[in-house]
Amino acid sequence: MLFVVITVLSTTPWMNKISESIRSAEPNVTAVYIGTTAPNGTWQFKVEDRVLTDCVVAYVYNYTPPGKLVVYELDSKALKVINPSEEIPSSECKGELIYGYLTANFTKLPETLTIDVWVGTTSTNDGYIYFRQIGDWMFINGSYVGYKAPSLSNNYMLMPIKELGKITNSTGIHVVNRR
């Protein structure tokens, strides 16, 4: 019995080190870009498609291993709700999809990646942002394999502003590049 206790106690730091190195091997997002013009530099994942609307001014994102990058695009009203101090010029827009670029880089190339894009606007219900899904762009080993349109019965959601705030605190608010 004493041998088992000593063995467990002596191997625990070794096991913790192994599990830590396994966890650190997970890819992490280093950069995401959304804009109407092509980004500079080298990007591991690049989508050139109708990935934003004419109303989008900023975005936040969330990455969940092993390969799901969710991008939440925000119009000026939604941005004002989550960041009241932000000075945002008002502009006329129709909410129409426009062509642009969505790119991402990771610390390590994920074997599979799905980029899921949602466009948000303020909701009539206080405390929520209304999101409509644009679609999913899928990659395997860094190569584009296809687009999946959203389900017509499940292409929207109401996200509590507090939940969106947690994502914002984790990855920050990023301005859409409209050069």
128-153 pLDDT, tens digit each? 999 999 999 999 999 999 999 999 88
- Kindly tell me if the per-residue pLDDT of 7 is higher than 60: no
pLDDT at 80: 86
Q: For 75-100, what is the mean pLDDT?
A: 85
Report the percentage of the chain scoring pLDDT > 90. 63
pTM confidence score: 0.83
Report the percentage of the chain scoring pLDDT > 70. 83
pLDDT at 85: 80
Average pLDDT, the chain: 86
Q: For 76-104, what is the mean pLDDT?
A: 86
User: How far are the Cα atoms of 64, 82, 107, 166 from residue 78, in angstroms, in the given order?
Assistant: 23, 7, 30, 15
What the block records as the tokens of 138 is: 């899928």
Pairing state between β 174-175 and 143-148: unpaired
